[in-house]
């Protein structure tokens, strides 16, 4: 039996109060008490501590027809900041965000060694790492030294990095990595801390995609989500009852390893069948003449009447529908969110997937494209950083 200590309850209430202020903006003490289901006295006590420590401020009053107008409380957005970054999709994206989650600086640049992988070259982990560290240091320095007004270095509390591979969130160590040979050998968390002296969290990019989509995208209204990302690889991530499902080995959702079965007559997994390299190869075999590097390119070509591209897309959708069907049958999600290149599927493609699944599964599936597209991972990094900051703030009082 697990015993919950009073401090755990107190910290939980503090964290929820911070979350409400971040998501809702200015809120009265009475409204906080109502929303959180805690006593007005407890709210007042916590508000007093947060005011004293400069975490929040009073910001005017609420309209009221009766008696004294309630004073509104808001977070001090400049109390602390975070760095968020991802190295997925051939680009390095870096953002600096404040305590409200507002991005105050954004930077994006191509990662040459990942982009060149699509032309048959092997990605070099060390080169990618050098570019990541250089980008982080550059943005850190620009925010803390040249911005007007500059942000004090000690106010940047945490960095969250989204990368390919399976990571242990407790240690930050990679268990193994896809598409980037040698990445497992780099202790990213320790190296960034040594360079910037800030706490660093490392997380799988698809995990962060789903966190971002649940926070700022089409997943906001759902507690049971299947997020499927298709492109250079194939992977899913799952939220059940509002919680990210990781699994015993942190590999929950690695659906690219699913086997098509003997009926398909192909002794390969689905990742080898329907991801970018395989699909582009099939397009060329069918006589495709146009330059295409991704499923997104093929969708565009099919729209423009390219017969080979249309045939390949139809083939890929048939296989992809089986993956979605099997995953939905096990997980029973409220919504299936399509990420990566799949978020660029046309309306007819999504309708095809729905009809195909409904032939075998009695429940109608809600399938929608990602709203955040290539920015989902970055928003997930920001949300993860804000959650960590909330944990640290609750230790202040």
**Same domain, residue pair 250 and 272:** yes
* pLDDT value for 122: 44
Which has the minimum average pLDDT: 67-71, 264-268, 379-383? Answer: 264-268
Looking at per-residue pLDDT, the higher value among 113 and 9 belongs to 9
Q: Which two tokens stand for residue 184?
A: 């497992």
Q: Is the pLDDT of residue 270 over 80?
A: yes
Domain count, the chain: 3
Q: Are residues 19 and 51 in the same domain?
A: yes
Position 67 scores a pLDDT of 58
Q: Which residue has the higher pLDDT, 270 or 364?
A: 270
**Is 215 among the domain residues?**
no
When pLDDT is cut at 50, 70 and 90, the band that residue 1 belongs to is very low
What CATH number did the domain enclosing 61 receive?
Answer: 1.10.10.10
Residue 263 has pLDDT above 70, yes or no: no
Q: Which band of pLDDT confidence, cut at 50, 70 and 90, is reported for residue 88?
A: confident
How many percent of the chain have pLDDT more than 90? 67
Partners of 344 in the β-ladder: none
Q: Are 160 and 83 in contact (CB under 8 A)?
A: yes
> What confidence score (pLDDT) does residue 120 get?
45
Would you state the pLDDT for residue 113? 60
Separation CA 112–CA 126 (nearest Å): 12
Confidence (pLDDT) at 118: 45
Same domain, 206 and 235: no
- Find the domain containing 42 and state its range: 6-75
143-176 pLDDT, tens digit each: 888 877 889 999 999 999 998 888 776 766 677 7
Residues 276 and 384 in one domain: no
190 and 247: one domain?
A: no
Indicate if the pLDDT at residue 96 is higher than 90. yes
pLDDT at 293 (0 to 100): 81
Give per-residue pLDDT as tens, 307-346.
999 999 999 999 999 999 999 999 999 999 999 999 999 9
Do residues 385 and 366 share a domain?
Answer: no
Same domain? For 98 and 50 the reply is: no
Say whether both 195 and 323 belong to one domain.
no
> 375 pLDDT exceeds 90?
yes
What one-character-per-residue DSSP string does 72-109 give?
A: EEEE-TTS-EEEEEE--TTEEEEEEEETT--EEEEEEE
Structure tokens at 132: 């990541």
CATH number for 102: 3.30.420.40
Q: Residue 362: pLDDT above 90?
A: no
Does residue 245 share a domain with residue 131?
A: no
- In this structure, what is the dihedral angle of CA atoms 162, 163, 166, 171, given to the nearest 10 degrees? -60
Please give the pLDDT value at position 64.
Answer: 60
pLDDT of residue 267: 61
List, for residues 28-45, the tens digit of each pLDDT value.
999 999 999 999 999 999
Residue 109 and residue 230 in one domain: no
Q: How far apart are CA 23 and CA 45, in angstroms?
A: 21
Burial of 222 (0-12, 13-18, 19+ CB in 10 A): middle
Which pLDDT score is estimated for 335?
A: 97
Can you tell me the mean pLDDT for 217-229?
A: 96
């Amino acid at each position: 039996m697990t015993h919950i200590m009073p401090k755990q309850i107190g910290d939980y209430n503090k964290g929820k109060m911070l979350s409400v202020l971040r998501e809702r903006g200015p809120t009265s003490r009475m409204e906080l008490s109502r929303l959180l289901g805690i006593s007005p006295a407890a709210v007042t006590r916590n508000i007093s501590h947060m005011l004293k420590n400069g975490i929040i401020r009073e910001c005017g009053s609420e309209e009221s027809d009766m008696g004294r107008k309630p004073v509104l409380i808001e977070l001090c957005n400049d109390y602390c900041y975070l760095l968020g970054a991802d190295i997925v999709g051939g680009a390095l994206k870096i953002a600096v965000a404040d305590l409200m989650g507002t991005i105050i600086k954004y930077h994006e640049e191509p990662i040459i060694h990942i982009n060149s992988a699509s032309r048959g070259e092997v990605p070099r982990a060390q080169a990618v790492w050098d570019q990541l560290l250089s980008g982080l240091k550059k943005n850190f320095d620009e925010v803390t030294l040249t911005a007007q007004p500059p942000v004090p270095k000690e106010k940047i509390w945490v960095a969250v990095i989204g990368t390919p591979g399976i990571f242990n969130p407790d240690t930050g160590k990679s268990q193994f990595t896809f598409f980037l040979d040698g990445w497992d050998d780099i202790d990213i968390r320790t190296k960034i801390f040594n360079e910037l002296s800030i706490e660093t969290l490392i997380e799988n990019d698809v995990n962060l995609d789903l966190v971002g989509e649940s926070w700022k995208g089409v997943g906001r209204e759902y507690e049971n989500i299947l997020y499927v990302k298709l492109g250079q690889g194939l992977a899913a991530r799952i939220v059940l009852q509002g919680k990210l499902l990781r699994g015993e080995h942190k590999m929950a959702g690695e659906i690219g390893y699913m086997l098509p079965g003997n009926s398909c007559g192909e002794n390969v997994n689905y990742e080898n069948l329907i991801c970018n390299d395989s699909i582009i190869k099939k397009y060329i075999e069918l006589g495709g003449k146009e330059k295409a590097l991704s499923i997104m390119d093929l969708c565009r070509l099919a729209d423009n009447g390219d017969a080979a591209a249309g045939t390949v897309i139809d083939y890929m959708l048939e296989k992809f529908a089986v993956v979605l069907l099997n995953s939905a049958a096990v997980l029973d999600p409220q919504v299936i969110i399509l990420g990566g290149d799949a978020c660029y599927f046309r309306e007819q493609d999504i309708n095809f997937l729905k009809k195909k699944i409904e032939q075998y599964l009695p429940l109608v599936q809600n399938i929608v494209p990602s709203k955040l597209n290539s920015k989902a991972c970055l928003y997930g990094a920001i949300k993860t950083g804000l959650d960590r900051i909330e944990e640290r703030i609750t230790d202040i009082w």
